[in-house]
Amino acid sequence: MPATESHRTVVGNQTDGVPLSTLLAGTIVGVYLLVIAGATAAITDAAAACSSWPACGLPTADSPALAVAWGHRLLAAVVGLAVLGTAAIGIQRLEDRRVRVALAVAVVLFAAQVGLGAVVTVTGGTGIAPIVHLGAAMALFTTLVLALAWHLETEYGDPTDRPDGVPQPPEVTESAGSEEAGATPPGGQTGLLATVRAYVRLTKPRLMWLLCLVASAGMALAAGPALTVGTILATLTGGVLAIGASGTFNHVLERDVDKRMQRTSDRPVVTDRIPIRNAVAFGFALSVLSLAVFATINLLAAALGLAAILFYSVVYTLVLKPNTVQNTVIGGFAGALPALIGWVAVTGTIGVPGLALAGIIFLWTPAHFYNLALAYREDYARGGFPMMPVVRGETETHKHILLYLGATLLAASGLAALANLGVLYGATVAAVGAVFLWAVIRLHRERTTNAAFRAFHASNAFLGALLVAVVIDAMAI
Ligand code: HEM
Ligand SMILES: CC(C)=CCC/C(C)=C/CC/C(C)=C/COP(=O)(O)OP(=O)(O)O
């Protein structure tokens, strides 16, 4: 099982019992809510409905835009106090210059936002002011996330944990010793059922629910309530077959390294439960079926399906994964393609909201996988893979997880504005984003395998909830 439980005894920078990282995290969530509220205000033309500053007419039942405008302003007042308070405490108590500068920049940005907000209001939400206002809000969010990342690094990081160089794969002698490795399959199963299970395992079924949700969100964004059951069924069937095909090729191409890693040493091709030739044939059969199903939708969907299979099987598995620490980041393109496939299945062309959804998946991927890479750090080192924690260490990986989470949240707020998504989407992303952020902060503090698994599950729950909210918001509201 997973890597050893590394745990350092650390004392966080306490502010009368509340660690500064907790204060910063709360402020970040507040600023994020403000970004989302700002995007909602822009969509609902709130500035036109409430065109005086700092107050305007009270909201009524027939003017939801006024309610949005008021909500945005009241939230801005509360969050402004939080930014000022956190910055004052941080600048006073912290020694890390990077964090102090970031907090000072945050205060300046917030002050600028008050003025920009006034300009947006009196110009009725027209011209360039709303774009600058939203951009500055995103800059404020980014500055605070950077402050948190640097603070956590200084407070809880281990400066000695910086392995150098890419691990050298050891000689392949024997399997890593999983109890399940060997000719006898798990639980001693034999016969048809065990063989069927082994083929199902080749298809990496555990990934499918989330990738299907990604494609569903792409379709829902494109079609709204007009989405048909036929398109959904064809797209998801083609998608499941494509994931199965690329998963199968991945098992075949990695059989030698899988043998060295404990987590993977009982895979069906490694244990000879499935002969390589059969696995290859299975992979090609799934590929052909998948492309045939995609082709019934449109040719661009089929081309993207082929690109996804080739990218995951060849580019990621053979080229990126064994050779570069950026394997996960660039590999994120494969996972992002189902978003585009969903969009293209409905429209036949590539469109901006589909690309924005793909961007969310791309940025989310490192925040998702680096947690597992931490939990299986020693296993990946045994396999000779230059995964982020193996090459750059635990502390650097923690920082990257937080920064990619911040970037994912920004992209998610961008999607709200681009695709006119509503309150359900915004509230969901803010709530599950806060849970994911909390799991990542606990990972920094606890530095244990359990904490890495917790953050991994939080990443999946975050994306799952975001995608369900996209589907409901786009189709039903
Ligand atoms: C470079 C990209 C990615 C890498 C390296 C990666 C890696 C992994 C690994 C190693 C596992 C464990 C698999 C297992 O034990 O069976 C996993 C699980 C999973 N991944 Fe990813 N992943 C990536 C992208 C994605 C994407 C794009 C999605 C979906 C949008 C996704 C969704 C999932 C899900 C749902 C699980 C299963 C979680 C569970 O079993 O609880 N992954 N991932
Ligand atoms: C439509 C289509 C084909 C989409 C493909 C997208 C896709 C499957 C993306 C996820 C990539 C992934 C799960 C990698 C798993 O890591 P790994 O292979 O490094 O994991 P391992 O260590 O378990 O082998």
User: What CATH number corresponds to the domain at position 234?
Assistant: 1.10.357.140
Please tell me whether residues 133 and 252 are part of one structural domain: no
* 370/221 Cα distance (integer angstroms): 29
Ligand 1 proximity of 328 Cβ (cutoff 6 Å): yes
Residue 476 structure tokens: 């039903």
Q: Within a domain: residue 255?
A: yes
Range(s) of the domain holding residue 24: 20-156
End position of a domain, from candidates 141, 156, 171: 156
What does the mean pLDDT of the chain come to?
89
User: Residue 180 domain-assigned?
Assistant: no
Confirm if 15 and 64 have CB atoms less than 8 A apart: no
Ligand 1 atom nearest to CA at 204: 16
- 149 and 270 together in one domain: no
Tell me if 12 is assigned to some domain: no
Joined tokens for residue 454: 């917790």
For the complex shown, is ipTM > 0.90? yes
For the stretch 32-70, pLDDT in tens is 999 998 887 777 666 666 767 666 777 666 676 677 777
Is 133 found in the same domain as 240? no
Q: Enter the tokens of residue 242.
A: 């494509």
Rounded CA-CA distance 456/440 in Å is 9
Given the structure tokens 């925040």, which residue do they identify?
367
Same domain for 227 and 123?
A: no
The whole-angstrom separation of Cα 415 and Cα 473 is 12
Residue closest to 377 by CA, chosen among 404, 397, 400: 397
Minimum-distance ligand 2 atom for the alpha carbon of 251: 24
Question: Is 306 among the domain residues?
Answer: yes
Per-residue pLDDT, 180? 38
pLDDT tens, position by position, 332-378: 999 999 999 999 999 999 999 999 999 999 999 999 999 999 999 99
Model pLDDT, residue 179:
37
409 lies in some domain:
yes
Give the end of a domain, one of 156, 176, 201. 156
Question: In the chain, how many domains are there?
Answer: 2
- In this predicted structure, the answer to whether residue 187 has a pLDDT above a threshold of 50 is no
206 CB near ligand 1 (under 6 Å): yes
pLDDT of residue 2: 40
Q: Is 256 exposed, middle or buried (0-12, 13-18, 19+ CB in 10 A)?
A: exposed
Distance in Å, CA 341 to ligand 2 centroid: 16
Are 198 and 119 in a shared domain? no
Do 124 and 256 have their domain in common? no
Residue 242 has pLDDT above 80, yes or no: yes
Residue range 391-409: mean pLDDT, rounded: 97
Evaluate whether residue 15 is within a structural domain: no
Write down the pLDDT at residue 181: 38
Determine, yes or no, domain membership for 4.
no
CB 234 within 8 A of CB 293: yes
Residue 17 confidence (pLDDT)? 73
d(CA 278, CA 266): 17
Task: Give the DSSP letter of residue 314.
Answer: I
Distance of CA 363 from the midpoint of ligand 1 (Å): 14
304 and 378 housed in the same domain = yes
Q: How large is the average pLDDT for residues 265-290?
A: 96
**Buried/exposed 400-421: b ≥16 CB within 10 Å, e otherwise:** bbbbbbbbbbbbbbbbbbbbbb
The predicted pLDDT at position 117 comes to 83
SS3 19: strand
pLDDT band at 170 (very low <50, low <70, confident <90, very high): low
Identify whether residues 345 and 438 lie together within a single domain. yes
Pocket test for ligand 1, best of 213, 263, 365, 368 (most atoms within 8 A of CB): 368
Identify whether residues 148 and 265 lie together within a single domain: no
Short-list 143, 141, 134, 107, CA closest to 38 = 134
Q: Which of 300, 316, 382 to mutate to test the pocket of ligand 2 (most atoms within 8 A of CB)?
A: 316
pLDDT, tens digit, for every residue of 298-343? 999 999 999 999 999 999 999 999 999 999 999 999 999 999 999 9
Ligand 2 site, residue 250, Cβ cutoff 6 A: yes
Q: Is 332 in the pocket of ligand 1 (CB under 6 A)?
A: yes
* Rounded distance from Cα 205 to ligand 2 centre (Å): 11
CA triple 94-97-101, angle to 5 deg: 100
444 and 325 within one domain: yes
Same domain, 137 and 207: no
Rounded to an integer, what distance in angstroms lies between the CA atom of residue 47 and that of residue 305?
43
Contacts of 243 (CB under 8 A, 6+ apart): 203, 204, 207, 208, 211
Residue 172 lies in a domain: no
Residues 113 and 208 occupy one common structural domain: no
Task: State the distance from the centre of ligand 2 to the C-alpha of 458, rounded, in angstroms.
Answer: 19
Mutation test residue for ligand 1: of 206, 319, 462, the one with most atoms within 8 Å of CB: 206
Nearest alpha carbon, ligand 1 atom 19: 207
DSSP string, 56-124: -PPP-TT-HHHHHHHHHHHHHHHHHHHHHHHHHHHHHH---HHHHHHHHHHHHHHHHHHHHHHHHHHTT
Q: Which residue has the higher pLDDT, 6 or 257?
A: 257
Q: How far is the CA of 416 from the centre of ligand 2 (A)?
A: 27
Distance 54 CA to ligand 1 centre (A): 47
Per-residue CA distances from 470 to 235, 238, 366 (Å): 17, 21, 21
Q: Using the predicted structure, report yes or no on whether residue 174 has a pLDDT greater than 70.
A: no
Q: Is the pLDDT of residue 220 over 90?
A: yes
- Give the end of a domain, one of 104, 136, 156: 156
Q: How far apart are CA 99 and CA 318, in angstroms?
A: 40
